Amino acid sequence: MRQYPAYIFDLYGTLVDIHTDERRPAFWRQIAADFATHGAAYAPHALREAYLRACAAETTRLAQTGGCPEEEIEIDLAPVFSALYSAKGIAADAALIAETAWQFRRASTCHLRAYAGAAELLQALRAQGRRVLLLSNAQALFTWPELRQLGLADGFDAVYISSSCGFRKPARQFMDRLLTEQRLSPEDCLMIGNDPNSDMAVANAVGMDSFYLRSATSPDIAPENAAATYAQAHIDLRRLKKELLHKE
């Protein structure tokens, strides 16, 4: 495998194993209780419906100005949580929004862990002078605390999270923003991810090589059909480090 000046990683399902569930009634009971502690009283089912309506409204607003399909839009949940408080007469400041977002994420998370070797892989690439970047479909309100919790926050030269950019993979605008701001060409980079429909697709859109890592959250597409330059049948970041650094 050739070596690249820059490596662009997906996060969830690639470096981090996570499972969340926002469908459980117990989850919405917990979130309603959290909102109530801040003076915003909702019945659990009413809070869920209000949340979904606010998300839909924010998605439509961004789609009308973003110039790409709704499925490639990524909203920021901060305005959603703000609207839920505002509907109950509460003017939520940034600290309250951040607290609410983290309570929301913790209550929905069933498990969260970095894959073995994740931090070491990032450190080894940077030690060789390679640039290491993150391009993640995620919420910044959730992801930054999780990166710190997992010890990965300092592992990247730059972090691009879809909720902060307004686009999600496979939107080409998302990758173009990274390349433009980091002054990189597609041929300088390798995209590493676990989802052919987003990670490999956004790399293909700009003519970038890609490496497919199959994980438990990957779509049911065989590696040989992933349209990736390289493929690994299952997540093994220690093996990947050897392949990227040409080490036995």
The reply to whether 35 and 142 lie within a common domain is no
The reply to whether 204 and 229 lie within a common domain is yes
Question: What is the token pair recorded at 134?
Answer: 């993150």
Which of residues 54, 88, 110 is at a domain's end? 110
The reply to whether 13 and 129 lie within a common domain is yes
- What total number of domains does the chain contain? 2
Q: What angle do CA 26, 53, 32 make, to 5 degrees?
A: 30
- For residue 151, what are the CA distances in angstroms to 15, 58, 68, 122? 12, 32, 34, 11
Which range of residues forms the domain containing residue 233? 6-18+113-245
The reply to whether 10 and 27 lie within a common domain is no
What is the CATH number for 141?
A: 3.40.50.1000
Are 186 and 216 in contact by the 8 Å Cβ rule? The answer is no
Residue 210 pairs in a beta bridge with 191
The reply to whether 150 and 194 lie within a common domain is yes
The reply to whether 120 and 86 lie within a common domain is no
pLDDT one digit per residue (tens) for the chain, 248 residues: 889 999 999 999 999 999 999 999 999 999 999 999 999 999 999 999 999 999 999 998 888 876 677 888 999 999 999 999 999 999 999 999 999 999 999 999 999 999 999 999 999 999 999 999 999 999 999 999 999 999 999 999 999 999 999 999 999 999 999 999 999 999 999 999 999 999 999 999 999 999 999 998 898 876 676 678 899 988 999 999 999 988 64
Domain assignment present for residue 1? The answer is no
The reply to whether 125 and 161 lie within a common domain is yes
Domain assignment present for residue 89? The answer is yes
pTM assigned to the model: 0.94
